[in-house]
Amino acid sequence: MYKILKAKKLADKIFLMEVHAPRVASHCQPGQFVIVKMDEKGERIPLTICDYDREAGTITIVVQEVGASTTKMGALKEGDYFRDFTGPLGCASEFVSEDLETLKNKKMLFVAGGVGAAPVYPQVKWLHERGIDADVIVGAKTKDMLILEDEMKAVAGNYYPCTDDGTYGHAGMVTTMVEELVNEGKKYDVCVAIGPMIMMKFVCLLTKKLEIPTIVSMNPIMVDGTGMCGACRLQVGDEIKFACVDGPEFDGHLVDFDQAMKRSQMYKTQEGRAMLKLQEGDTHHGGCGHCGGDE
C-alpha cells in the first residue's frame, strides 16, 4: 500500500498528490511515469511523474478527471492509499544522459498544454538545478486552468503563459507563442512538447517548418506498461514503437499523430459505459445489455 501524504486541487478536475513510494523515488528520472491502481479490482492508470524527492521517498503525480477511474482517484484524500504504485516505467528524457557541458550550450524550448505542465516541470527543474535555464510555454483554455505556475516560474529561464480566451498572458494557442518568439529572434536547438495529441501534432508541424528538432511525450492507451499488450503501439517513421518501453518520448517529426489519435478512440465506448455506471450508482440497471450493469 502506498500512502497519499498530500492531496490538493490545482484546477477544475485536476488534482496533485504526493505519494510515499521510496523505491520509485530512488530510481526515477525526468520523463518517466508510473502506473497506479486504487484497489485490487481498479483500472491501471499511467501517470507521468511530476516531481520526486529521493530523501523523503515521495513521488508527486497530477491526476485529471477524465473517466470513471480518474474521477474516483480525484476523490482520494490525504491519508488514503493506492493499492499499487508501479515504476519508474519508460525511458528517461534523452538529455539526462547527455554530456552536461554540451547540454549547457543548447537553447531549449518546452511547450506544455494543459496537464502537460506536470511532466514538463521535472525536466525543466532538472536542467535548472544544473545551471541550464530553458524557455517554457504553457497553454490552457483559461487562467484558472493553468497549473504549477509558481513552480514553473521558479525554474524556467523565461515563462510564457497562454490562454485560449486571451484573459491572461499570451492570447491564443501555444503555436502562435512559438512563432512570436522565433519572429523576435529567439533561436532554439530543440523543442520538447507535451500535452494533448492534437496540440503536439500542430507544434510539430510548426517546428518542422521552423527546422527545430522536436521531442514529444506520447500518452496513448496503456494496459500493462511492459510492452506485451500492444495497446500503446505507435508508428514512428517506418518503425512500430511502444510508448511504455520505447518511450514515452519520441522524435515528434516522425510520429504518426493521426493514427495515434484514431487508436486513442478505440476504448471510448467502454470508458463511457464505466462512467455512466459510476454516475448512476445503484440505479444503473444495465439495460443497454453491454456494460454488465447487473453484475
* pLDDT of res. 264: 80
Question: For all residues of the chain together, what is the average pLDDT?
Answer: 91
- The tens digit of pLDDT for each residue in 180-211 reads 999 999 999 999 999 999 999 999 999 999 99
End-to-end CA distance of the chain: 27
* pLDDT of res. 244: 92
* pLDDT of res. 282: 62
The dihedral sign for the CA sequence 160, 174, 248, 274: positive
Decide: helix, strand or coil at residue 59. Answer: strand
* pLDDT of res. 280: 58
* pLDDT of res. 291: 53
Q: How far apart are CA 92 and CA 64, in angstroms?
A: 23
On the question of pLDDT at 279 being above 70, the answer is: no
Amino acid, res. 7: A
- The tens digit of pLDDT for each residue in 10-44 reads 999 999 999 999 999 999 999 999 999 998 888 88
Q: How far apart are CA 231 and CA 218, in angstroms?
A: 13
- The tens digit of pLDDT for each residue in 63-85 reads 999 888 889 999 999 999 999 99
> Bigger pLDDT: 277 or 119?
119
Residue 11 vs residues 62, 74, 156, 268: alpha-carbon distances, Å: 11, 11, 21, 24
CB 32 within 8 A of CB 88: yes
Q: 515504476: which residue's cell?
A: 87
CB 189 within 8 A of CB 214: no
Peptide bond before 122: cis, by omega within 30 degrees of 0? no
Residue 51 vs residues 6, 104, 153: alpha-carbon distances, Å: 13, 22, 15
Cβ neighbours around 294 below 10 Å, total: 8
Q: Nearest 5°: phi and psi at 285?
A: -100, -5
Q: Domains in the chain and their CATH numbers?
A: 2-89 (2.40.30.10), 94-217 (3.40.50.80)
pLDDT confidence band for 294 (50 / 70 / 90): very low
pLDDT confidence band for 145 (50 / 70 / 90): very high
Q: 511523474: which residue's cell?
A: 49
> Bigger pLDDT: 121 or 228?
121
Q: What is the DSSP letter of 29?
A: -
Give the whole-number percent of the chain exceeding pLDDT 70.
Answer: 90
- The tens digit of pLDDT for each residue in 231-246 reads 888 999 999 999 999 9
- The tens digit of pLDDT for each residue in 95-139 reads 999 999 999 999 999 999 999 999 999 999 999 999 999 999 999
pTM: 0.89
Q: Nearest 5°: phi and psi at 15?
A: -130, 145
Which stretches does DSSP call E strand in 78-189? 81-82, 84-89, 108-113, 135-140, 158-163, 170-171
* pLDDT of res. 268: 63
